[in-house]
Structure 1
């Protein structure tokens, strides 16, 4: 059996202390995103519908193999009450305050330009092996102004 390539990067914890809610995260691309964020140190709130066995397998793929704090929420993101219940979770050490602070609010643009350090950080990521499949892409480093 081949070694899990993400498990080799567990020592790379550059996102330690953060929380991410990943939708569609019990299979496919969503699970791949959740695993990559977990390998970088992020606590994960899996958000997907599914059969209990698939959810358990996704949790094992993240918590068991990568050691990340993980919880699951079946919240329907079209339902405000369901989102509030998801935010109220404290399972596996992920506090409600942390979810409210880091997962739910979209980052609003502020009135400053991206710093040279922020641009440099993106370049460092894009120059690394993790970004090998990104070619010919335009990435706005404008603190959210493009979308507003």
Structure 2
């Protein structure tokens, strides 16, 4: 995600997301999310960052040299933030348990402020597939009602 300055043709924040649904959030965070974030943070995936920024900036009113300069801002660590979001059960409800879940976030993303490292959880207390099946059914019901009225 990129956030653009309202006045100048410039990127003020580029956020790299890893949103994961899993039944083992610590393992997923440690083995996949941190590895991915480390690759971005240590500039091993610069081409992907710039390509995504260019694609997003094309959708704005920025073009030409200003667009190129804006896209290059995603390479500046001061402009970058990371958001890890994981599904968890309600047993991870205390601050201490959440801290344990996101342990080593600051180690992998060194030289960043705490506000550049977002750690989010989404609590689901039933089997994930069942929950998503229920959600999908609700979405389809709403869409079919909407479509019936608006087509």
User: TM-score by structure 2 length?
Assistant: 0.29
Structure showing greater radius of gyration is 2
More helix by share: 2
TM-score (norm 1): 0.29
- Higher relative contact order at CA 8 Å, sep ≥6: structure 1 or structure 2? 2
